[in-house]
Structure 1
Amino acid sequence: MKPYFFLIIASLLLVSSSIKAQNLSDKSNSLHLNFTGEGLPTSHSLPTIKWINPGMEYSSSVEAKISIQAAISSSKVIKKVTLNIGDDQSGEVLSSKLIKIEPHQKEVIINQSIWLPNGAVFLELEAADNHGATVSAQRKMTIGEGALKNMISMNRKDYALIFATDRYDHWSDLVNPIDDAHAMAKMLQENYQFEVEIVENASVEEVWSVLRSYNERNFNPQDQLLVFFAGHGHYDESFGEGYVVASNSLKNDVAKTTYISHNRLRGVIDNIPNEHILLAMDVCFGGTLDPVLARSRGLQSYTVSVSDMLIRKFDKRTRKYLTSGGKEYVSDGIPGSHSPFMSKLLYALSTNGGEDRVLTMSEIKSSMENLSQVPRFGSFGTDETLSDFVFIAK
């Protein structure tokens, strides 16, 4: 629920505590409230709607028939539940369906298949309780192969956020991270038309500040975001946790408060409102980003057309990671050259994905198999099965 809704409620409550009948309507991108009755309800008494499928706010389907799943709960008896299907371009409701509920229900589970028209549509669930409060939540979808192909080709962008540190206040300096970052940025911009931001020698505070700004950005449904860290890494045996070392991290910080913990990093990046994220780390002990160090699973290989492959991949929420090693130190390389990990990654990117012009994580993994320090691949956060991060050559 949006924070400003509660500000509206608080303001109205201050206007008059003697008003007996209230009418209030508030609308946001995902929530609509409309209630009447004896005074305003408290936030914890409103019905809640949890979408299970589609799970993403924006998604797509080649098939017109989809399965919807949702859970509705309320502290009061649920009086009515309505499913609306509409045209997302005009906002017009095309059809409405009452969901069957039993008397005195406070929880409703929805699990049914529906047919949707081709194009951009919205699904809206409305739940009303017996005190007159109505809450709604939406999901938006693109239906049909032709509509989705058009969206993939026209309405998407790839971004890269690269943190590179080679100068430290309390740790030994490194030789290659900054050069590696600029070489990678050049490759991503020229071969794949990424929009790249490089953050050099950032402090702990600056890293979190930049990541916060990405949490506050708006992304399109098919956009991708690569977040890359190059520099020192550290692992604490007592805490059982890995860390990224920032430019101002203390060398002997027992509490590790001046370090960037992998646990928090996973959570913050997972929360960025972008559906397709790859977190790559060329740091020592980077593989400890995964709580179960060796849990790396292969990605699905496809024998369908390139466009169909992209449709499937962009339809899944992606949270992948790629690190230069596991629970170990990794080489920074020799001065004037790239780190071994970066050299292999740049080589993979230089291939432009081969004939189909699409470089997948599976192909990157294959190009790195002969490194002496084996890179780690895996998933984190809210990753979905069969998802992937792809580099589409221009």
Structure 2
Amino acid sequence: MKKNVYTVFLLLFINYSISAQSIKLEGLQENEYIGDVNLMPDSSLLALSVINDYNTVKRYIYQNDLWVEEENSLTQLINSLSNQHKHLLFSIDYKKLIVLITEGKENRAYLFSKLADDKWSLPTEILKNLRGEFKHSPPNISVDGLKFYTTAYGLSANELLIYDAQKETLEKSIKIDEFDRINQIFPLNKSAFIVGALKNKDKIDSYFYIQIEKDGSYTAPLYIPELVPDKPSDLFKISVSPFPGRIIVQNQESKQISMIEVNERIADQWFQKSTPRQEFSRLARQEAEANNYVSPKGQYHALLIGNNVYKDQSLNLEKPIEDVLKLKNILISKYTFEEENINTLTNASRSQILTALYELRLRLNQDDNLLIFYAGHGYWDSAVEQGYWWPVDVEKNNPSCWLSNSDLKEQIRAISTAHTLLISDACFSGGIFKTRGVEDLRDATTSIQLLYRMQSRRAISSGTLSTVPDKSVFFKYLSKYLEENDTKYLPSTELFTSIRKSVLNNSLTVPQDGVIMGAGDEGGDFIFISNK
């Protein structure tokens, strides 16, 4: 007897770190039905919502450990078509979208194309001569955008119909004798497909892997075991995702939405969508896949601030500038930071720090990553529950020349980056962090954090004391773990876990980390990428 598929999910999750994740959408009404669910390249979800036959497409983002609704221009565009029955099917590269609208007995299929700046074209109707043939299942588009794949009613229900995407004329019909009917077609490359179908003598629909040869012959359909239900009431609906081998599965009976990983053979075919002429070993595919999750389109930038010499000489320190220069060398020699993208401020005033932050607002974009590091004096004002940096022009009894958590938070919020990480080797705790516990993100596996690829705005502080030692134990272990790291990808949450344990064992300070409150964090993480 087959294992229940959700047991399979659990076993896969344990064995492969990221294979299955249950997805719960927030704010659903009691009478709300969820249809098609699609995972997008930015790791948001598009879900079809049905309330009393009124159909809308909603977008959900993963924020504060919850999937919450957030509209965007694509959902507005799709919903402008109709509020009637819909189905969505994305091309494997997520540059094309086909939306099927069912109004009465008539089906209409519309094609959207992705433009620059994450915008989408206005819809154009496709395959108009097949309006009645789609069976509430949209046609799909080939990897190269030159073909449409559809199915049909009646005696042709087990035929894969291949249309020229430009002329919209039938090129080829391939009858799959093993099937009674074909419901959905997901092209993985030019010849490999996942097919949702009812196989002869089966009582329930299943999903199969199949290859179509140039002469029109096909390989024997292979069950995809991760998608074989244990009982007829487990009616599954799937969508492919932008991440090779990951599939969104919806149990239409229990309404549970999950993400699973299919077997290596299918994942290898999937990956060829972007590199059809290359052969990849399993290791090479994993490496490239990891880059797909983690590597930004933009660059890594750093603002490093070290204050030694203060206007008030009683505050002078010896080590901060030395620490800043050491960190700069580590970032350039070991990680993907270019020297021209690192701004080093030594003995900086409040005005100089704010000016540098403002310049970053002008230079950086939403694909870039930013590391801000400060070494110098800090102060915690318990009366107002506010932390401050003390620039070199500080006056101890004049808060107007201090640099507060609030000032920094506002500047960070205004800098458009994919990920921003603030590391403060000074007192900095309190109002900068969200009130929830600092363990929140570390509960999830690193691979899940990478998969979501949500924006992050995080901070790490050396301690909660009103002063920190000139010879910083915190910096000793920060530099140590950055230098000794031998992994390709190092999330800031993993880095902090290592630092915290060592600092607690060797000093009286208690390092802190967490999300910067109100700065635009969406649950992601800053990833140090080794250049070795």
TM over 0.5: yes
Residues 302/200 of structure 1: CA separation in 2 closer, same or farther (3 Å cut): same
State the Cα distance separating 1:219 from its structure 2 match: 2.6
Instruction: State the structure with more CA Rg.
Output: 2
State the Cα distance separating 1:238 from its structure 2 match: 2.8
User: 1:62 and 1:118 mapped to 2: Cα distance?
Assistant: 16
User: 1:280 and 1:140 mapped to 2: Cα distance?
Assistant: 35
Contact kept? 1:325, 1:374, Cα under 8 Å: yes
User: 1:207 and 1:143 mapped to 2: Cα distance?
Assistant: 40
Match of 1:252 among 397, 400, 410: 397
Correspondence for 2:527: 390
Residues 122/257 of structure 1: CA separation in 2 closer, same or farther (3 Å cut): farther
User: 2:321 and 2:87 mapped to 1: Cα distance?
Assistant: 52
User: 1:62 and 1:175 mapped to 2: Cα distance?
Assistant: 47
Deviations, residues 267-313 of structure 1 (Å, cap 9, x unaligned): 21122100201011001x21235356784224246668xxx667515
Correspondence for 1:378: 514
Unaligned 5+ segments in structure 2 are: 1-37, 49-56, 60-69, 98-115, 121-240, 245-270, 275-288
Higher relative contact order (CA 8 A, sep 6+): 1
Correspondence for 1:366: 497
Contact kept? 1:65, 1:114, Cα under 8 Å: no
User: 1:237 and 1:65 mapped to 2: Cα distance?
Assistant: 46
Correspondence for 1:18: none
Match of 2:91 among 100, 117, 130: 117
Contact kept? 2:308, 2:316, Cα under 8 Å: yes
User: 1:263 and 1:303 mapped to 2: Cα distance?
Assistant: 31
Residues 298/71 of structure 1: CA separation in 2 closer, same or farther (3 Å cut): closer
State the Cα distance separating 1:240 from its structure 2 match: 2.3
Contact kept? 1:60, 1:143, Cα under 8 Å: no
Q: Which amino acid aligns with 1:203?
A: S
2:233 equivalent to 1:233: no
User: 2:433 and 2:44 mapped to 1: Cα distance?
Assistant: 35
TM-score by length of 2: 0.47
Q: Which amino acid aligns with 1:342?
A: F
User: 2:71 and 2:402 mapped to 1: Cα distance?
Assistant: 40
Correspondence for 2:451: 312
Correspondence for 1:330: 468
User: 2:409 and 2:400 mapped to 1: Cα distance?
Assistant: 17
Deviations, residues 181-222 of structure 1 (Å, cap 9, x unaligned): 00001001100031322111111111111100111123352x
Note the aligned Cα RMSD (angstroms): 3.7
User: 1:192 and 1:206 mapped to 2: Cα distance?
Assistant: 27
Correspondence for 2:323: 180
SS in 2 for 1:281: strand
**Number of equivalences:** 281
Match of 1:296 among 438, 443, 448: 438
User: 1:366 and 1:261 mapped to 2: Cα distance?
Assistant: 26
Q: How does 1:187-266 map to 2 (within 5 A)?
A: 187-195=330-338, 196-219=342-365, 221=367, 223-253=368-398, 256-266=399-409
Residues 391/152 of structure 1: CA separation in 2 closer, same or farther (3 Å cut): closer
Q: Which amino acid aligns with 2:502?
A: N
Match of 1:159 among 283, 296, 301: 301
Higher mean C-alpha deviation, range 168-177 or range 363-372: 363-372
SS in 1 for 2:355: helix
Correspondence for 2:219: none
Contact kept? 2:477, 2:502, Cα under 8 Å: no
State the Cα distance separating 1:260 from its structure 2 match: 0.5
Contact kept? 1:359, 1:390, Cα under 8 Å: yes
Give the fraction of aligned pairs with identical amino acids, expressed as a percent: 25
Correspondence for 2:478: 345
Residues 342/140 of structure 1: CA separation in 2 closer, same or farther (3 Å cut): farther
State the Cα distance separating 1:237 from its structure 2 match: 2.9
Correspondence for 1:357: 488
